Structure 1
Amino acid sequence: MKKTHRIVLVEDHRILREGVRSLLASDPELEIVGEAEDGLEAIQRVLQLMPDLVLMDLSMPRMDGLDALREIRAQCPDVRLLIMTVHKAEEYVFAALKSGANGYLLKDATSSELRLAISSVLAGKTYLSPGVSEKLVNSYLKGKHPRETESVLGILTQRERQILKLIAEGNANRAIANLLCISIKTVEKHRSNLMKKLDLHNASELTTFAIKNGLVTK
């Protein structure tokens, strides 16, 4: 009897989660054992369920896919991680792979490609959608070294980026402290560091900066 592979699905759009769940329901070797709507919830679900594979989006509220990816990889090194996203740019692909992703699938993929990507990653291989594969090969041939998506955000620590994202999404210090399981004083310290590093002076300016640099969308 073949093993059933356990999957946690991380996607903030319910209709897309339902679609993927429906596509995979006919495969007796795959089982979606948990779902999450954002990066923070994804980490919790993975630690609770210890799945074989995490199928995860990059752009999500509260904590984005890259931050969640790094945290899951650090705490669960054996879990296979497959990104499923609309982002085709090389910067996103390289950042995801550098952060520990085992595969990178575009959301315009067919159902058969989704199954191929999942089976490849579960088999220990690295899977890249054909569209991004061609771009990566061409970049290497031309000697290009894509920048990561962080750009100016690169001067911030991972925690500072998490807090900046939460501030930009309208969360107060207490709410941020509760979400990240840290003290309010720690949040205030990070907020102060953000303003000093970025030469910004209030939550409104932090929010505008986060939107301009693609950390959140409005």
Structure 2
Amino acid sequence: MNAKYRVLLAEDHHLLREGLRLMFCALNEFDVIGEAKDGGEACRLAVSMIPDLIVTDLAMPGMDGIDVIAAIKRRLPHIRIIALTVHQDEEYVREALRVGADGYVLKSASVDELFAAVRAVMQGKRHLSPDVYGCLVDSFVSGRENHAPRPACDRLTARERSVLKLVAEGRTNRQVGVYLHLSPKTIEKYRASLMRKLEICNLTGLVLVAIEMGLIGDPTPAAPVHHANGEAESNGKHRDGDARLDSQISVARGG
């Protein structure tokens, strides 16, 4: 009897993670050896369990799926990894493949397509969902795949987009760090990197770019962030800053 493929699932939504586990366990060729609810746990389990295959979401708290794929492939390049995601955008696909994903499957895919992807990558092949493949082909045919530099906003990583969205919503470095499980100092480095890439020198510019990219609508005050001790961080001290920010945006728009 052939040995089963050992599978690690990384997905922050419990219901979807449970559904994936049941689907894999229903087939004799797979054995789900671990489940992770965030990126950091996925990396720890990958190192301790050494699975044959990891199926990971791209949008998770803490380390997102792109960072997870990159970290695991650097240390354990033989592990096959499939990104299972709702993101069909070209930049997400390219970033996932660039850091080492062996497959890219949309969550709208059928069960048959998911397992076709799994079996393909376990044979050493790459697999993209048909819609994703079509998107990349269209990009090439339309001439967007050329040597001209891409706009700076298209070069942002998935993590940088997450930070940009949260910062543009009016959250402090500490609040963004709590949400993404990163230190305020790390968030400050991300903000500085965003400003360099986007050639922006202030918060108002970041907000306008986030609006243009469709990451947020008109800014609203951030909700209180609840910490491990149960205390909520009040946003009252930020309300005057939010009002000034709204005024700056109105002036920048010519309003």
TM-score (normalizing by structure 2): 0.65
Residue 125 of structure 1 and its aligned partner are, at CA, apart by: 0.5
Give distance in 2, aligned partners of 1:84 and 1:192. 28
Contact 1:85/1:105 (<8 A) preserved: yes
Give distance in 1, aligned partners of 2:92 and 2:193. 23
Q: 1:196 to 1:25 in 2, by over 3 A?
A: closer
1:57 is aligned to 2:57? yes
Q: Percent identity?
A: 34
Q: 1:190 to 1:55 in 2, by over 3 A?
A: same
Which is further off, 7-16 or 36-45? 36-45
Structure 1, unpaired ranges of 5+? none
Q: Deviations over 1:158-204 (max 9, x none)?
A: 9x949948x8687749x77xx66x8x8x6487378458745346xxx
Contact 2:6/2:53 (<8 A) preserved: yes
Kindly provide the amino acid, as one letter, of the partner of residue 199 in structure 1: C
Per the alignment, residue 67 of structure 1 pairs with 67
2:51 is paired with a residue whose SS is coil
Per the alignment, residue 199 of structure 1 pairs with 201
Give distance in 2, aligned partners of 1:195 and 1:129. 31
Give distance in 2, aligned partners of 1:138 and 1:68. 28
Please give the residue correspondences for 1:16-95 in structure 2 after superposition, counting only pairs within 5 Å: 16-95=16-95
Relative contact order: is structure 1 or structure 2 higher (C-alpha 8 Å, sep ≥ 6)? 1
Give distance in 2, aligned partners of 1:193 and 1:65. 23
1:43 is paired with a residue whose SS is helix
Give RMSD over aligned pairs: 4.0
Give distance in 1, aligned partners of 2:156 and 2:105. 28
Contact 2:69/2:99 (<8 A) preserved: yes
Give distance in 1, aligned partners of 2:34 and 2:43. 11
Q: 1:131 to 1:21 in 2, by over 3 A?
A: same
1:95 is paired with a residue whose SS is helix
Structure 2, unpaired ranges of 5+? 217-221, 223-255
Q: Deviations over 1:80-132 (max 9, x none)?
A: 11011111122221111111110111111111111111111111010111111
Contact 2:173/2:188 (<8 A) preserved: no
**Pair member with larger Rg:** 2
Residue 29 of structure 1 and its aligned partner are, at CA, apart by: 1.2
Give distance in 1, aligned partners of 2:207 and 2:62. 13
Give distance in 2, aligned partners of 1:72 and 1:142. 34
Kindly provide the amino acid, as one letter, of the partner of residue 152 in structure 1: C
Give distance in 1, aligned partners of 2:206 and 2:192. 12
Give distance in 2, aligned partners of 1:104 and 1:71. 17
1:88 is paired with a residue whose SS is coil
* Matched residues, number: 210
Residue 207 of structure 1 and its aligned partner are, at CA, apart by: 9.3
Give distance in 1, aligned partners of 2:42 and 2:151. 21
Per the alignment, residue 4 of structure 2 pairs with 4
